[in-house]
């Protein structure tokens, strides 16, 4: 990966950053999304002021960070003004009234483009809003921009973006993680108050960990996928990326629920949606934490240390530790790359230059419209996964690959079911390492795939998982603690996360960017 402007940028950045500890929170006058919402609602500030402040910061920092593919300054300020007017008029507004938020650029919006960070959709204007976007708007949020990602959400570093590079706000020579790296970098750097990401194999949790923010992947079916450009349909799930656990609960309140447009979103009669804020501050009594020690052993020493410390904190709060056995977790990555790529090869078949998106110039026949448009429009990693998935589904190979992967998936699901008989949640690292250097793994896809070793199982099992900041390594890079819980237990999961956050200040640390 050649990143031409990197050196120049770095010069500029060094002048901005001083050598102080990056976890210093003194200069942070930021506030959480909920705090801002409450201030706006009680007219101690207003949405226009908050939105303008965010855009001032974007003007300064975004050229370094590269978190956004598009921003909508004029539109956002106009909407903020309208919300302020309604507040002044005494109207009761939605849960996110006036709060500037960002959306990962693989969720359809009728405004701006929906690019998936791919050249093939670089100029694509969606004719409809994703359900989550409708819900944000209905909650009176101000959508300020759409964030960068690995092309079609395929990657763990956002380096696979076909449109731009996002850097980690804690160290701009490093990746923000991926694929929701734009969203996590923007939240970490204060370029929005909260954001939406999508998580197919760890794409919310891993970059949240690498950027030191909170990221939740809800249970599969909790949040509508309608309007989320599909990568691996049976694994994809939209979730919040926020500064605090409380904000995470707030965002989930807004986006959770059944959607008649998504058959895989779950009936609320079976799994009711609750107010995730209502009991957030109630600690879980008699909390039993499951740990798979041998599995966790693969992580970097400093990551393990931070995780151990975090678990000690829980112990001090009265939690008990249960050793669990997850015999099939070792096969998670292999199964994941079969299921996800098989589905992707089919999901991405529609980008053919016929109906929309990039079309090759002067094709000789309609076959060339397909082959050349796709060859020109897709990046290397996307092509790799399409080929892998196509192969896995080919006749004669289906049983050996795809079908077998589905069986492994069931075994992993079983591992979790058995584990949750003994514990309320499972804790483990989010990623084996902290943020790695830009370019470090781009030529070694297998190494890159291993970045997701701890996150993938939750997608295969469909269960929720959260990443919360739990410390820094000696390079002052954030470490995330992952907590997994049974399907549709988000309320409890958030309460468990909140117990820790209340005891620690890690979430208040901000990068000096």
Partner 1 sequence: MSNVDYKVEVLVGLEIHVQLCTRTKMFCGCELAFGTEPNSRVCPVCLGMPGSLPVMNKQAVEFSILAGLALNCQIPSFTKWDRKGYYYPDLPKNYQISQYDLPLALNGYIEIPTDNGLKKIRIRRAHLEEDAGKNLHTAGNFSQVDLNRAGTPLLEIVTEPDMSSAIEVRTLAEELQRIVRYLGISEADMQKGHMRFEPNVNLVITRAGQQFKTPIVEVKNLNSFRALENSIDYEIGRQLDRFLETGETMEMGNKSTRGWDDAKEVTVLQREKEEAHDYRYFPDPDLVPVRVNEQWLNEIKSRLRELPSKKRLRYVKEYGLSDYDAGVLTNDRTVADFFEEAVKAGSEPKRACNLLTQIGLKLANARGCAITELGPKAADIAQLAQMTQTGEISATAANTILEEMVKTGKAPRELAEQLNLIQKNDAGELEGIVDEVLKSNPQAAADFKEGGKKSGKARGFLLGQVMQKTKGRANPKIAAEILDKKLA
Q: Please, which residues have CB within 8 angstroms of residue 373's CB and are 6 or more apart in sequence?
A: 120, 351, 352, 353, 357, 358, 359, 360, 363
Q: Cβ–Cβ contacts within 10 Å for residue 509, how many?
A: 21
Decide: helix, strand or coil at residue 168.
strand
Compute how many other C-beta atoms are within 10 angstroms of the C-beta atom of residue 261: 13
CB of 347 to partner 1, least distance (A): 9
Minimum CB distance to partner 1, residue 230 (Å): 7
113 touches partner 1 by CB under 8 A = no
Choice between 343 and 424, CB closer to partner 1: 343
Q: Which is nearer to partner 1, 78 or 406 (CB)?
A: 406
How far apart are CB 151 and partner 1 at their closest, in Å?
A: 13
Q: Does 496 bind partner 1 (CB under 8 A)?
A: no
Asked whether position 394 contacts partner 1 by CB under 8 A, the answer is: yes
Choices 80-88, 142-150, 324-332, 350-358 (CB under 8 A): range interacting with partner 1: 350-358
Among 10, 113, 302, 346, binds partner 1 (CB under 8 A): 346
- Burial (CB < 10 A; 0-12, 13-18, 19+), residue 173, is middle
Task: State which of residues 50, 229, 448, 463 lies at the interface with partner 1 (CB under 8 A).
Answer: 229
262 binding partner 1? (CB under 8 A)? yes
Q: Does 355 engage in binding with partner 1 (CB under 8 A)?
A: yes
Is 42 exposed, middle or buried, given 0-12, 13-18 or 19+ CB atoms closer than 10 A? exposed
Residue 3 or 397: the one with the smaller Cβ distance to partner 1 is: 397
Closest CA relative to residue 450, chosen from 468, 429, 476: 429
- Write out the binding residues for partner 1, residues 2-31 only, by CB under 8 A: none
CA dihedral sign, ordered 307, 208, 228, 452: negative
Contact region for partner 1 (CB under 8 A) — 31-39, 56-64, 176-184, 337-345? 337-345
Question: Of 104, 135, 146, 372, which one is the catalytic site residue?
Answer: 104
Q: C-alpha distances in angstroms, 223 versus 98, 153, 310, 452?
A: 22, 17, 29, 22
Indicate whether 89 belongs to the interface with partner 1 (CB under 8 A). Answer: no
Stretch that binds partner 1, among 19-27, 182-190, 224-232, 435-443 (CB under 8 A): 224-232
With binding defined as CB under 8 A, does residue 263 bind partner 1? yes
Cis bond leading into 411, ω under 30°?
A: no
Give the largest CA-CA distance in the chain.
Answer: 70
Alpha helices of 348-474 — where are they, by DSSP H?
Answer: 366-377, 380-393, 404-419, 445-449, 456-461
> How far apart (Å, rounded) are the C-alpha atoms in residues 336 and 328?
12
SS3 call for 322? strand
Q: Does 388 bind partner 1 (CB under 8 A)?
A: no
Query: What is the distance between the alpha carbons of residues 347 and 225, in angstroms, rounded to a whole number?
Result: 14
From 157, 179, 467, 489, the catalytic residue: 179
From residue 323, alpha-carbon distances to 229, 278, 334, 421 in Å are 38, 31, 25, 12
Compute, in degrees rounded to 10, the torsion defined by CA atoms 388, 389, 391, 395: 170
Structure tokens at 136: 């944000």
Question: 74 vs 365, which CB is nearer to partner 1?
Answer: 365
- Binding to partner 1 by CB under 8 A, coded x per residue (else -) over 128-167, reads x-x-------------------------------------
Please say if 179 is a catalytic residue. yes
User: Taking the complex as a whole, how short is the minimal distance between the CB of residue 261 and partner 1, in angstroms?
Assistant: 6
Closest CB to partner 1 among residues 169, 201: 201
| String marking each residue 162-201 x if it binds partner 1 according to CB under 8 A | ----------------------------------------
460 binding partner 1? (CB under 8 A) = no
Beta-carbon-side half-sphere exposure of residue 498 (alpha carbons within 13 Å): 21
Residues in contact with partner 1, counted by CB under 8 A, come to a total of 44
The first and second tokens of residue 117, run together, are 């960070």
Told to check if 395 binds partner 1 by CB under 8 A, we report yes
Q: How far is the CB of 114 from partner 1 (least distance, A)?
A: 7
Pick 187 or 386: Cβ nearer partner 1: 386
Q: Min. distance of Cβ 111 from partner 1 in angstroms?
A: 15
Tokens found for residue 99 = 């709060």
**Stretch of 37-45, 123-131, 184-192, 483-491 lying at the interface with partner 1 (CB under 8 A):** 123-131
Q: Binding residue for partner 1 (CB under 8 A) from 102, 121, 141, 241?
A: 121
Q: Name the residue nearer to partner 1 (CB basis): 28 or 349.
A: 349
**SS3 assignment, position 66:** coil
Query: Distance (Å, rounded) from C-alpha 509 to C-alpha 271?
Result: 35
E strands along 174-323, which residues? Answer: 194-199, 214-217, 237-242, 288-291, 320-323
Q: Which stretch binds partner 1 (CB under 8 A): 30-38, 258-266, 280-288, 308-316?
A: 258-266
Residue written as token pair 């990326």: 241
- From the list 203, 345, 373, 485, the catalytic residue is 203
Among 32, 71, 95, 114, binds partner 1 (CB under 8 A): 114
**Judged by CB, which is closer to partner 1: 22, or 225?**
225
Alpha-carbon gap, residue 212 to 510, rounded angstroms: 8
- Report the nearest approach of partner 1 to the CB of residue 199 (Å): 16
Active centre residues (catalytic): 104, 179, 203
Q: Where does this chain bind partner 1 (CB under 8 A)?
A: 106-108, 114, 116, 121, 124, 126-128, 130, 225-230, 232-234, 260-264, 342-343, 345-346, 349-352, 354-356, 366, 370, 390, 393-395, 398, 402
């Amino acid at each position: 990966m050649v990143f031409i402007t990197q050196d120049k940028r770095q010069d500029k950045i060094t002048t901005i950053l001083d050598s102080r500890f990056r976890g210093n929170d003194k200069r942070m006058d930021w506030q959480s999304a909920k705090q801002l919402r409450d201030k706006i609602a009680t007219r101690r500030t207003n949405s226009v002021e908050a939105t303008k402040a965010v855009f001032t910061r974007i003007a300064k920092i975004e050229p370094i960070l590269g978190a956004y593919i598009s921003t909508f300054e004029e539109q956002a300020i106009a909407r903020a003004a309208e919300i302020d007017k309604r507040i002044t008029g005494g109207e009761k507004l939605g849960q996110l009234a006036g709060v500037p938020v960002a959306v990962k650029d693989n969720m359809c919006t009728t405004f701006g483009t929906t690019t998936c960070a791919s050249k093939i959709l670089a100029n694509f204007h969606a004719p409809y809003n994703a359900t989550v976007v409708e819900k944000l708007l209905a909650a009176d949020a101000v959508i300020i921009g759409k964030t960068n990602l690995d092309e079609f959400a395929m990657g763990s570093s956002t380096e696979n973006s076909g449109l731009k590079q996002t850097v980690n706000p804690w160290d701009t020579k490093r990746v923000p993680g991926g694929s929701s790296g734009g969203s996590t970098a923007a939240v970490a750097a204060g370029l929005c108050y909260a954001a939406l990401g999508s998580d197919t194999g760890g794409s919310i949790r891993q970059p949240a960990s690498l950027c030191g923010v909170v990221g939740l992947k809800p249970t599969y079916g909790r949040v509508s996928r309608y309007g989320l450009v599909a990568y691996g349909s049976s694994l994809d799930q939209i979730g919040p990326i926020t500064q605090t656990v409380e904000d995470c609960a707030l965002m989930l309140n807004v986006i959770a629920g059944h959607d008649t447009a998504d058959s895989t979103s779950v009936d609320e009669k079976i799994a009711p949606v609750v107010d995730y804020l209502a009991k957030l501050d109630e600690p879980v009594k008699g909390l039993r934490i499951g740990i798979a020690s041998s599995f966790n052993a693969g992580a970097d020493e400093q990551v393990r240390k931070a995780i151990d410390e975090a678990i000690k904190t829980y112990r001090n709060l009265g939690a008990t530790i249960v050793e669990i056995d997850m015999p099939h977790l070792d096969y998670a990555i292999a199964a994941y790359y079969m299921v996800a790529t098989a589905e992707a090869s089919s999901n991405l078949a529609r980008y053919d230059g016929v109906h929309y998106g990039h079309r090759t110039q002067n094709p000789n026949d309609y076959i060339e419209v397909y082959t050349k448009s796709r060859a020109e429009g897709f990046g290397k990693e996307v092509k790799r996964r399409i080929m892998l998935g196509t192969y896995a589904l080919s006749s004669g190979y289906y049983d050996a690959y795809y079908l077998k992967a589905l069986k492994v998936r069931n075994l992993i699901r079983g591992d979790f079911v058995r584990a949750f008989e003994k514990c309320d949640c499972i804790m483990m690292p989010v990623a084996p390492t902290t943020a790695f250097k830009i370019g470090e793994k781009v030529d070694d896809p297998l190494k890159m795939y291993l970045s997701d070793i701890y996150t993938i199982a939750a997608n295969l099992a469909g269960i929720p998982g959260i990443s919360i900041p739990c410390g820094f390594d000696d390079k002052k890079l954030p470490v995330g603690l992952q907590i997994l819980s049974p399907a549709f237990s988000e309320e409890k999961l958030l309460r468990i996360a909140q117990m820790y956050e209340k005891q620690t200040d890690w979430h208040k640390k901000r990068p000096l960017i």
